[in-house]
Structure 1
Amino acid sequence: MGNLVVAGTDGSSSSFAAVGTAALEARRRHADLRVVYALNWPVRPMYSPLDTTPINRLVSEAAERARSVAPGVTVTEAMVPGDTVSVLEAESREADLLVLGARGAGGLLGMLLGSTAASVTAHSRCPVMVAREESPETGPVVLCVDGSPASEAAVGFAFAEAALRGAELAAVHVWLPDYAPPGTGVESAERLLAQALAGHAEKYPDVTVRREVASGEVREVLIERSRTAQLVVTGARGRGGFTGLLLGSVSQALLHHAHTSVAVVRGRT
């Protein structure tokens, strides 16, 4: 694990909660935390109770929130000129984890995910965690395994995260029997899952791993599994993903509909 976690804030209650999540992640990693506000010009009104609060106070309050959640973490704050996606993409180049809220300052469900978080997640140079305010602190870390080379970084991240949290790792591979190649079956799916996890269990011997091969529509199965998880980890693109498609359909579905926080892992590029 590295030494910097970055939290994006925009004055919304969702981003305020995400700063608290980022502080906990920084403490787990023995990392510093940087709280960043993207300063778009002209600054547009924000439809939240903090409308009349100067922007520097918004950032200071977010930083104080982080310090109260994790007193031992070194917290810095910054207002960076530029559009949100560009600012956070640049921040991700030096970060080991970028944490965002699930909703923006407008307060409309899905607004941030539709315009900013999905774009940031697709272009980030480090793993992105989209934090939900209601995420529990108990339950497993659910790992979405599809066996693609692109998902290898997600497997490593999920094992590390489970170790940091002292949580069970539930590794889930979903297959569609109707679309499986001839001659393949559940045994092939189980073998794919075992191969994807090979070597990681030895590196993290204290992590209890539960393997699950499920049949059904991938997004529906994983969203259902998120109900009892404290975190869901997925790769940015799945097997068969187009080169230009930076964020796959499963990742996008989880960002929008998961019942807990979601980490999307592309690895460094």
Structure 2
Amino acid sequence: MNSANGAAVVVGVDGSEPALRAVRLAAAEAARRHRPLRVVHGFIWPLLRVPVNPLAEGPPGAGLRGQAQELVAAAVDAAEAAVPGLRVTGEIIDGEAAAVLVGESPTATMIVLGDRGLGGFAALVIGSVAIQVAAYAECPVLVARGEEHAAGPVVVGVDGSALSRAAVEFAAEEAAVRGARLHAVHAYTHPVSGGPGDMQPLVYDEDQLRGEEERVLAESLTGLTERYPEVAVTRAAVHARPVVALTESSRDAQLLVVGSQGRGELRELLLGSVSHGVLHRAACPVAVVRSPV
């Protein structure tokens, strides 16, 4: 995460209601972290060679670019209303929405966006822009979903891999700035294979497996209390599919944090099956954290 030099929280807007929810979430996040908020709109029309400026005989501020300026101004107003005194700026950037937000990610503290936008089909649970940004952004991506249960914990999915350490660290930091409890969930269904090409054992001892998985969870949290002494940490190793376990844990959480990939997933996949699944099903906002290369 880019935390140096006052890096801003960036929120993507398109004039939709999910985007306005994202603006309010982003404003609260920026305030917690004492960061400025940057409102960004990806303006795709110039790429499609569509006239964007008002006609000569038209009123000032008309045309597609004028509409884009209005929606960015409305989003800035919404952020300032949500958190009075917050430093908020807005900008229109020519380009497709996902590409624009990914382009912002190297210098952002985090990217915040709604789960669906104006271009999404109503039947989709989560839009393609959110999926693309979560997969490619170089900073954590926070997707406004469900309800943020203010009294609930920050929940983090842990799978014992090196790739989940970044998610655990980010979740602990979030719990610290929110004054919340951190609840680490490790879900398992069977023993993992020993290596590439190895088959999963067909017969195994349940008690032994539970003990091994609880050890994996404990080791994943080693040193967390020392780094974040103000954060109360609880943990649960559960025999269930990870998406199911994390979705259930999200029902009373204020935030769910997952890594972009998990144990056993191909490194070529930029967004793993668990992170993809909880983005579609979680009952609270979801943060997807990319692991350092």
Q: What is the TM-score normalised by the length of structure 2?
A: 0.84
Q: Name the structure 1 match of 2:261.
A: 237
- Matched-pair contact (CA < 8 Å) for 1:100–1:129: yes
- Matched-pair contact (CA < 8 Å) for 2:161–2:263: yes
Q: 1:133 to 1:105 in 2, by over 3 A?
A: farther
What CA distance in whole angstroms lies between the structure 2 residues aligned with 1:145 and 1:110?
Answer: 30
**Counterparts in 2 of 1:1-269, with a 5 A limit?**
1-2=3-4, 3=6, 4-41=8-45, 42=48, 54-106=67-119, 108-109=121-122, 111=124, 113-132=126-145, 134-177=147-190, 182=204, 184-267=208-291, 269=293
Q: What is the TM-score normalised by the length of structure 1?
A: 0.91
What CA distance in whole angstroms lies between the structure 2 residues aligned with 1:133 and 1:26?
Answer: 20
Q: Name the structure 2 match of 1:48.
A: none
Deviations along 1:103-142, whole A, 9 cap, x unmatched?
Answer: 1114644648342111110000000000126322220111
Deviations along 1:243-267, whole A, 9 cap, x unmatched?
Answer: 1100011100110110110000004
What CA distance in whole angstroms lies between the structure 2 residues aligned with 1:159 and 1:129?
Answer: 15
What CA distance in whole angstroms lies between the structure 2 residues aligned with 1:13 and 1:6?
Answer: 17
CA shift for structure 1 position 177: 3.7
Partner SS for 2:112? strand
* Higher mean C-alpha displacement, 218-227 vs 232-241: 218-227
What CA distance in whole angstroms lies between the structure 2 residues aligned with 1:177 and 1:118?
Answer: 28
What CA distance in whole angstroms lies between the structure 1 residues aligned with 2:291 and 2:19?
Answer: 23
Q: Name the structure 2 match of 1:47.
A: none
What CA distance in whole angstroms lies between the structure 2 residues aligned with 1:170 and 1:176?
Answer: 20
- Matched-pair contact (CA < 8 Å) for 2:9–2:38: yes
Amino acid of the structure 1 residue aligned with 2:250: S
For the pair shown, the structure with the greater C-alpha radius of gyration is 2
The count of residues paired between Structure 1 and Structure 2 equals 263
Q: 1:133 to 1:193 in 2, by over 3 A?
A: closer
Query: Could you tell me the percent identity over the aligned residues?
Result: 45
Gaps of 5+ in 1: 45-50
- Matched-pair contact (CA < 8 Å) for 1:102–1:110: no
- Matched-pair contact (CA < 8 Å) for 2:40–2:93: yes
Amino acid of the structure 2 residue aligned with 1:25: E
Partner SS for 1:164? helix
Amino acid of the structure 2 residue aligned with 1:55: A
